[in-house]
Amino acid sequence: MSKPPSVINDQAHWRAAEHLADVLRTCLAAYRIEADISMRILFDVIKRWDKDIRRVSEVQDGNVSAVKYIAYQTFWLRKLKPVTSAFRVADIAAAEEKSKLSEESAMRWLANQEVIDINEQLAVAVAVKHLLWYAKSGDFPAPYAAGQFDANTQVGAPVPFDVDALRRYLQYFLKYSATKPTGAQRKTTRDNLVYNLRYRTFGPHHLTHVFEQALMAVQSGQNIVP
Amino acid sequence: MTEKELAEMAGFSVESDLMRHEPNNFGPAVERAYEALRSLAENDIDITDIIPSI
């Protein structure tokens, strides 16, 4: 049975919300975007995430893939949308230049540059960071066939999960775009994921499936990146 | 604005030292999820080679 909500849990949740805010701010800085982050909504994200991961953990006796924890966090970020008024620093600078001619048209132009899918974009970025963190921390073991391990020769022993292979796979997978018959490029896998997160029914189970595919691709040991 | 002021604004009455507590009663797997979040907040993992721009 889970423990009832308590003051100390609220404090812990607030602390976790601050950690998540720090991760989001780091992302925004890396991508040169200015935005507002609602701590109250992030607190809500953490509480909903916590409720889900405790429930999943209880149902599965604590034996839960980290991928599910990542998927639930991604889901609540895209669902509750804690980030607003996101603009690229370059666009803000461009608008300042334009405002020398006409402030009204510059502001109208800037309004149209707002990164309206910032929450979905950040949710994917935070998920990728988590995937790499768990991989580096040894939480994703490379599988080996049961019964094939020979203790004397060590043949069949599991090898450490290949973190670099996961990075290479994510580089390839998220940037991949098919070529249309006309020769033009389709949207990338990341564009597609962001679109579906924003406009389609896309729950934690869908995200779990997407992330598990990446891990399984690496665990298969096949060189799937051309 | 300090962490304590933010928390109080959100409706909590807390002592600043209590704010340092991490979740400690959720079991090892859930604690691991919180550990990942805290660790990433303190030590970023660069992913600009995977997601070059937004």
Q: How large is the average pLDDT for residues B34-46?
A: 95
Report the pLDDT value the prediction gives residue A47, as an integer from 0 to 100.
Answer: 93
* A 181-210: CB under 8 A from B: 190
Report the pLDDT value the prediction gives residue A218, as an integer from 0 to 100.
Answer: 87
Token pair, residue A180, equals 């249309």
Q: Give chain B positions within 8 Å (CB) of A43.
A: 10
Distance from CA of A159 to the nearest CA of B (A): 22
State whether B50 and A171 contact (CB < 8 Å). yes
Q: Compare all CA atoms of chain A with the CA of B13 and give the residue at the minimum distance.
A: A7
pLDDT, mean over chain B:
74
**H or E element, residue A42:** helix A39-59
Report whether pLDDT(B20) > 60.
no
More confident residue, B27 or B33: B33
- pLDDT tens track, chain A, 226 positions: 455 445 667 888 899 999 999 999 999 999 999 999 999 999 999 999 999 988 888 887 767 889 999 999 999 999 999 999 999 999 999 999 999 999 999 999 999 999 999 999 999 999 999 999 999 998 887 765 555 666 676 666 666 788 999 999 999 999 998 888 898 888 999 999 999 999 999 999 999 999 999 998 888 776 667 6
Question: Exposure pattern of A156-181 as b/e (b: 16+ CB <10 Å)?
Answer: eeeeebbbebbbbbbbebbeeeeeee
Report the pLDDT value the prediction gives residue A8, as an integer from 0 to 100.
Answer: 61
Report the pLDDT value the prediction gives residue B23, as an integer from 0 to 100.
Answer: 47
> Which among B27, B19, B38, B28 is positioned nearest to A7, based on CA atoms?
B19
State whether A190 and B10 contact (CB < 8 Å). no
Q: How far is CA B18 from CA A45, A61, A110, B1, B4, in A?
A: 21, 29, 43, 18, 10
pTM: 0.85
Would you say how long chain A is, in residues?
Answer: 226
Of the candidates B10, B22, B48, the beta carbon closest to that of A15 is on B22
- Chain B touched by A137 (CB under 8 Å): yes
Q: How confident is the model at residue B17 (pLDDT cuts 50, 70, 90)?
A: very low
The rounded distance, in Å, linking the Cα atoms of A221 and A142 is: 9
Q: How far is CA A165 from CA A130, A134, A140, in A?
A: 16, 14, 13
Report the pLDDT value the prediction gives residue A71, as an integer from 0 to 100.
Answer: 96
Report the pLDDT value the prediction gives residue A61, as an integer from 0 to 100.
Answer: 73
